[in-house]
Amino acid sequence: MKIGLAQTNAVIGDFPGNIKRILAAYRECLEAGADLVITPEMALSGYPPRDLVFKSQFVPKCLQALDHLAEGIREVPLIVGYLDHNTSARPGKPFRNAAAWLEGGEIRHRIWKTLLPTYDVFDERRYFEPGESCEPVIWKGHRIGITICEDIWTEDYLQRPLYERDPAEELAAKGIDLLLNLSASPFHLGKPAQRREMLGAVARQAKAPVVYCNATGGQDQLIFDGHSVVVRADGSTAVQMSGFVEQTLVIDPFDAAAGAPVTDEADAAQLYHALVLGLRDYATKCGFTSACLGLSGGIDSALTAVLAADALGAENVHGLTMPSPYSSGGSVDDSVALAESLGIRCDRVPISDIYHTIKATLKPLFAGKPEDVTEENIQARIRGVLLMALSNKDGHLLLTTGNKSELAVGYCTIYGDMCGGLAAISDLPKTRVYELCRWINREKEIIPWNTIDKPPSAELRPDQKDQDTLPPYDILDAILELYVERQLSTDEIISAGYEENMVRWIQRRVDLNEWKRQQAAPGLRVTSKAFGIGRRMPVVQRFVG
C-alpha cells in the first residue's frame, strides 16, 4: 500500500485557497502512485483557528468546503483535517477537531481527536469535545488506525502524565495494520528528533508502521516545520520529509527497503530556516510584500536584515541607519556594508538635530536634573517615529530587531526600538544570535565580521557597552534558560553554581519587565518557551522565587 503525504501550508480561514493547496498536493501524490493520501491536522481550516471558531459562520463554511473538496476525490481516498460541530446529545464543548475520510465523492468516515492539549501554546479544551472511542477504519482488507496530533504523544514525551486514555494503544488493542497521524506540531529547536523518537516508540507498541503528516508554515508566532515522518513497525525511521517547505511524498510503509537515511540539520540551519519561513508567512499572509527596519551596525539588526532579504527578496527590504551624537562612524559604515552585501536599500537619516530640539523643548521641565536613561530613550523613540513613518508611507512591515536576552531583562525601549509589527528574533538569546551570524558567514562574508566581532553597544551615550549594564551574555543566557524555559526558582539556580546577586538581579528584571513584553510585537517561537505565546504571566504580582 502506497501512502501519499501532503505536507501543506494552510492559511487560517482561507477555505478556497486551502482546497487548492490540498487538491494540488493530492494530484501530485496520485501521479506518484499513491493508494491513499493524508494531510496535516486542520489542513482545510488552518491551525490554530482559536476564537475564530466561535464566529457563527466559521465552522459552517469549513463544512461547506469539506463537501466541495469531497466532490473532487474519487477512487483514491483522501484523509483531511478539518473542524466539525459537536452533535453529541451529551453536554460538552461545541466543536470537534476532526479528520474526514473522503472517497468516491463522499465523506465516508469522520474521526474525532481524542486527546486535546491545553498547555504551553495549546488551548484546545476551550473549543473542542474529545472523541469518545477509537475505532479502526477497514479498507481493502486493511485495518487502519487514524489519529490526530496529540493522540500519539505518549506520557514519556510530555512534561507529566496528562491523560487517562492512550488512543494509539486502544487502536492497537483492536488490531491495526497501519497507524496514521494528521498533525500540526509547532517547531522548537530539537523537536524533529524528539518526534522521531516518540513515533518509534509508538510503532513498536502498536506493532505497526506509523505515517505522520505534519503541517508546515508560519502562523502568527508559531512555526510549523513539516518534517513529516514514516516509521516502520520495528520503530526505525524509513524517511523524514524536508523541513520548512511544502512537499509531497509517496511511500510504502510496509516495504522494508523503502525510505532514505535521516540526518538532522545543524541547530543554526534549523533556526535560520524556521525564522525565514516564519517571517515570510507572517508578512505575506498578512498582505505585506515588503519590510523596513533600523540598521544600527549591530549584530541583531544585521541578522534581522539577512532574514528579511531571504524571506521577501532584497529588493523588498528598506533599511534606515539613523546616527545620533553617540553613534560611531564604524556603525554607520557597517550598516552600509551590510546593505551592499545583501543588495537592500539603506538610507542615512541623522537624528542629532531632532534629538537636540527635543532636549531643548524639555529643558524647562528637566531643569536641575542630570541626564540619565531618559535621554537615551529619546534617541530610541526618535528612531521608532521615523521607522513607523516609513512603514506607514510605503506600506512596509516594520521589523523590530531585539533579541530574547534583551527582551527578558527589559534592555529595550518601549515605543522606541520595540516599535514594529513583528519581532523576528525575539526568541533568540544573544548567544544564539552570534551562532547564527557565524553560520551565515560560513562560506563567505555576508554580515561584516566587524559587526560580529565588536563588543555590542546600544550607542546611546559615550563609550557605552551592553556589559556596562548587563552580565556577560553567556552567563545571562544560561541563567535565563534556567529561569524562563525550565522555570527553576532563584534558589535552585543559585544552587547550580551561579552568583547569588546576579541571579536575583536577573530574576527581578525578568519579572519587572513583563509589562513591556505584553506591549511588544509578536515574536517568532523557536525555543521551548517563548515570551508571549505559551508563557502567560501577570503584570501585577509580588511573587519572588
Q: Is 41 a catalytic residue?
A: yes
How many Å apart are CA 512 and CA 435, to the nearest integer?
Answer: 29
Q: Is 149 a catalytic residue?
A: yes
Question: Using N-to-C axis directions, what is the helix angle for 430-440 and 473-480, rounded to 10°?
Answer: 120
Please say whether the beta carbons of 424 and 524 come within 8 A.
Answer: yes
CA 218, chain centre distance (Å): 6
Q: Name the percent of the chain in helix, strand, coil, to the closest 5.
A: 40, 20, 45
User: Which of 244, 243, 271 has its CA nearest to residue 431?
Assistant: 271
Which residue among 2, 113, 191, 430 is the active-site one?
113
How many Å apart are CA 288 and CA 495, to the nearest integer?
Answer: 48
How many Å apart are CA 121 and CA 523, to the nearest integer?
Answer: 13
Beta partners for residue 212, in sequence order:
181, 229
How many Å apart are CA 350 and CA 335, to the nearest integer?
Answer: 13
DSSP per residue, 258-313: -S----PPPHHHHHHHHHHHHHHHHHHHTT---EEEE--SSHHHHHHHHHHHHHH-
Q: Is 55 a catalytic residue?
A: no
Which residue among 29, 62, 134, 149 is the active-site one?
149
CA distances from 259 to 38, 177, 232, 256 (A): 18, 19, 10, 8
Q: Which 8-state DSSP code applies to residue 537?
A: -
Which value, in Å, is the radius of gyration of the alpha carbons in the chain? 26
Cis bond before residue 48 (omega within 30° of 0): yes
Which residue among 2, 41, 62, 430 is the active-site one?
41
Please say whether the beta carbons of 4 and 26 come within 8 A.
Answer: yes
Catalytic sites, residue numbers:
41, 113, 149
